[in-house]
Amino acid sequence: MIKLDRQDAVWILTMCNGENRFNRQSLDALHGALDTVEACDSPVALVTTGEGKFFSNGYDLEWMATVPDEIAGLAADLHRLLGRLTALPLITVAAVNGHAFGGGAQLAIAHDYVIMRSDRGYWCLPEADLGLPLTPEMFAVITAKLPARTAQEAIMTGRRYGGDEAVAAGIAHRAVSEDQVLAEATALAALHAAKDRRTLAAHRRLLYGEVMAICGIGPGTGAGE
């Protein structure tokens, strides 16, 4: 479901479960992977990617329909995951190999950098079409990471952005061919792996302190302290 490999100073987290939807097992695995990366005391950076057609297609709605009592806890853990990514005291890069929808789109932009495929795959917030309102935590991450006009359009219309469109809209930083997505993301992460982590943690509190608080991130909860 989750692979975590290391290439010199760069940890590469790969989601490898089809559409890479969020359920109890996958969120627990993602948090466990972040625990491992954050515990590293040497220079380090993180790349997150998927396999095949999807980066992540968001919530596992079929699974959630079978466990209604777990939905609130699952949402809280997704919020905490987004908050942790804004708080990690290291540079993070999303290598968006395919479709990133809903929570998967939010996971991508919670990283410092987003590298997308230029030839296939969309970034999209489809909640307005699905009848699933964004939570305050999700909204906080989206508005902290995207230009205001882009956030408005993405939230209100559910527009699907291809790689080049995502770059133009300020969602992604670069759009490259499929075979270059992971390599580009890894090279970018390696370039910044030696940044001082205490300084990064302080800067993240300045940049995203409100987002972190809204997402339930604080001392002792993976806050990059």
* pLDDT for the residue numbered 220: 46
> What is the number of other CB atoms lying within 10 angstroms of the CB of residue 78?
23
Question: pLDDT category, 18, cuts 50, 70, 90?
Answer: very high
Q: What's the average model confidence in pLDDT over 162-179?
A: 97
Where are the extended beta strands (E) located within 44-112?
Answer: 45-50, 54-56, 92-96, 99-101
The type of residue at 21 is R
| Higher pLDDT pick, 43 / 45 | 45
In three-state secondary structure terms, 143 is helix
Q: Give yes or no for a contact between 147 and 185, defined as CB atoms under 8 angstroms apart.
A: no
Angle at CA of residue 49, ends 106 and 206, nearest 5°:
45
- What is the percent of the chain with per-residue pLDDT over 90, rounded to a whole number? 94
Residue 165 pLDDT greater than 50, yes or no: yes
* Of residues 122, 216, 219, the one with CA closest to residue 164: 122
Question: pLDDT category, 77, cuts 50, 70, 90?
Answer: very high
Of the given ranges (59-68, 109-118, 144-153), which has the lowest mean pLDDT? 59-68
- Residue 22 DSSP label: B
Q: Which helix (H) or strand (E) holds 6?
A: strand 2-7
* pLDDT for the residue numbered 225: 43
In angstroms, the CA 220 to CA 225 distance is 8
* pLDDT for the residue numbered 63: 92
Instruction: Write out the two tokens for 4.
Output: 């975590």
Residue 128 makes CB contacts below 8 A (sequence gap 6+) with: 155, 156, 157, 158
Question: pLDDT category, 219, cuts 50, 70, 90?
Answer: low
* pLDDT for the residue numbered 224: 46
Residue 137 pLDDT greater than 80, yes or no: yes
Strand 2-7 relative to strand 10-15: parallel, antiparallel, unpaired? antiparallel
Phi/psi of residue 172, each to 5°? -110, 155
What pTM does this model have?
0.95
Domains and CATH numbers, the chain: 2-214 (3.90.226.10)
Instruction: Write out the two tokens for 47.
Output: 């790349």
Residue 223 pLDDT greater than 80, yes or no: no
Q: Give yes or no for a contact between 160 and 122, defined as CB atoms under 8 angstroms apart.
A: yes
Residue 221 pLDDT greater than 80, yes or no: no
